[in-house]
Amino acid sequence: MNRPIYEQSVIVGVDAHKYSHTAAAVDAWGQEKGRLNFTNDSLPACLSWLKTLGRREDVIVAVEDANSYGCHLVAALAGQKFAVRSVPAVLTERDRQHSTQRDKSDFRDAKRVAKVILSKYEETLPVIASLATSAELAVATELNLLLNERRDVVKGGTAIKNQLHSLLHQYYGDHYADEFSKAFNKQALVFYQANLVQAIAVNSPNANEAGKALIAESILRRIQRLKLLQEQSAAILKQITKIGETSKQVVALHKNIHGCGMLTAGAIMAELVTIRRFGGQDKLAKYAGIAPTLKSSGSHHRLYTNPFGNRLLNKALHTIALSQIAIRGDDRGKMYYRKKLKEGKTKLWALRCLKRRLINLVFRVLKQTEAGIGIGSAEKIIS
């Protein structure tokens, strides 16, 4: 819901915390109209206070941390049909840093949240709860939970593998992985375990051998933790696939975009939730941090890489782009990538151009899926 700020508008900024929230109301000129401290247990009192500020159609509620500590408040506001905007914390922090009054309090933060709507309305988005269906919210919440858990599991596994590389090198020497296609595949782990258990069973009084036995025991413990993490990662992946198959958006992305597996499609929808949040593909590209930043002055125009935006969504698009330009990738993607290289662009910049085409394709696929229109096999990446 995009509504302009007009003379009768009342903007309410909310600084949400775990046990309490602070709200500050301002008019269209930034003058304070009221303030309120409340908790999730007193949400009815908050809703009653909002109704005293003016007509519901004139009130815009801006919530910082809307998807975490503010989730219960957002659900209550959406149920009462209030216009609710999500304000990134980085915007209020920038406002504080560039202000002559750098005092920090819950009320000041709430007021800054409200003033972000007055000055940077176009940089905020409607809260997801006001646009997505209950089914879309449920799928996105479940996918987000599992994807975050899997990232932690994979990160933990990578840390253990790095430790094992060092310990295995100390124990076996340079060629500990020569017999295996990968240092930590199933066959390699079985061999290390059997060999190390046998070595530990041979009790030697030699101090050097005793030191090696200690390394062997340390390696075995890490291998056990690594196997547990690998099993958990596989189980989580099955759950993600099962949930993704219930979402027509995830299935559409998987089937119609080369290189977009169920895991990547799930990651995209976990961040987007619903395509109705975005008025066009340009806004979606900006949200993903894929659209470049323009710096223009007079006749001088230059584009720079955008380091901001949703980095998890950006990473998912990067995964698809790398898959498309691989040896067994998509011919259309490779053709577009080579075209950009011939134009003199660097490999990294050509990849960014391909990611922009891909985010446009994601937008079209999701829009057509929402409208119930089938995606034809002639869908093009190259415009």
* DSSP symbols for 252-286: HHHHHSTT--HHHHHHHHHHHS-GGG-SSHHHHHH
Q: Residue 21 is inside which H or E element, if any?
A: strand 21-27
Percent of the chain with pLDDT over 70: 95
Alpha-carbon torsion (21, 27, 31, 32), positive or negative: negative
Q: Is the pLDDT of residue 364 over 80?
A: yes
In tens, the pLDDT along 326-337 reads 999 999 999 999
Under the banding of pLDDT at 50, 70 and 90, the label for residue 377 is: very low
Can you name the CATH fold of 10-130? Nucleotidyltransferase; domain 5 (3.30.420)
Residue 296 is predicted with a pLDDT of: 83
Residue 374 is predicted with a pLDDT of: 62
Short-list 236, 290, 228, 229, CA closest to 262: 236
Highest averaged pLDDT of the listed ranges 288-297, 300-309, 343-352: 343-352
Under the banding of pLDDT at 50, 70 and 90, the label for residue 266 is: very high
The Cα 121–Cα 119 span in angstroms is 6
Q: What would the two tokens of residue 220 be?
A: 């075995």
Q: State mean pLDDT over 357-366.
A: 96
**Strands 300-304 and 59-64: what pairing?**
unpaired
Q: What would the two tokens of residue 165 be?
A: 């590389």
The Cα 260–Cα 264 span in angstroms is 6
**Which amino acid is residue 264, in one-letter code?**
T
Q: State mean pLDDT over 187-208.
A: 81
- Is residue 122 within 8 A of residue 102, CB to CB? The reply is no
The Cα 128–Cα 77 span in angstroms is 12
Q: Is the pLDDT of residue 299 over 50?
A: yes
Short-list 297, 232, 270, 339, CA closest to 132: 270
Residue 207 is predicted with a pLDDT of: 54
Residue 201 is predicted with a pLDDT of: 81
Under the banding of pLDDT at 50, 70 and 90, the label for residue 369 is: very high
The stretches of the chain forming alpha helices (DSSP H) are 43-52, 71-79, 89-97, 106-120, 134-172, 186-201, 207-244, 248-256, 262-272, 281-287, 311-324, 331-342, 347-371
Whole-prediction pTM: 0.81
| Domain span(s) for CATH 3.30.420.10 in the chain | 10-130
**Which amino acid is residue 26, in one-letter code?**
V
Residue 205 is predicted with a pLDDT of: 56
Residues 6+ positions from 138 with CB-CB distance below 8 Å? none
- Specify which residues 293 forms β-bridges with: 304
Short-list 340, 294, 290, CA closest to 320: 290
Residue 362 is predicted with a pLDDT of: 97
DSSP classification of residue 42 = G
Q: What would the two tokens of residue 3 be?
A: 């509504």
Residue 332 is predicted with a pLDDT of: 93
Short-list 163, 63, 172, CA closest to 110: 63
Indicate the length of the chain as a whole number: 383
Report the 10 Å Cβ neighbour count for 214. Answer: 11
Q: Is the pLDDT of residue 213 over 90?
A: no
- Specify which residues 366 forms β-bridges with: none
What mean pLDDT, rounded, does the chain reach? 89
Residue 133 is predicted with a pLDDT of: 85
Q: Is the pLDDT of residue 379 over 60?
A: no
Short-list 105, 111, 118, 113, CA closest to 24: 111
- Is residue 70 within 8 A of residue 13, CB to CB? The reply is no
Q: Residue 14 is inside which H or E element, if any?
A: strand 10-16
Provide the 3-class DSSP secondary structure of residue 41.
helix
DSSP classification of residue 292 = P
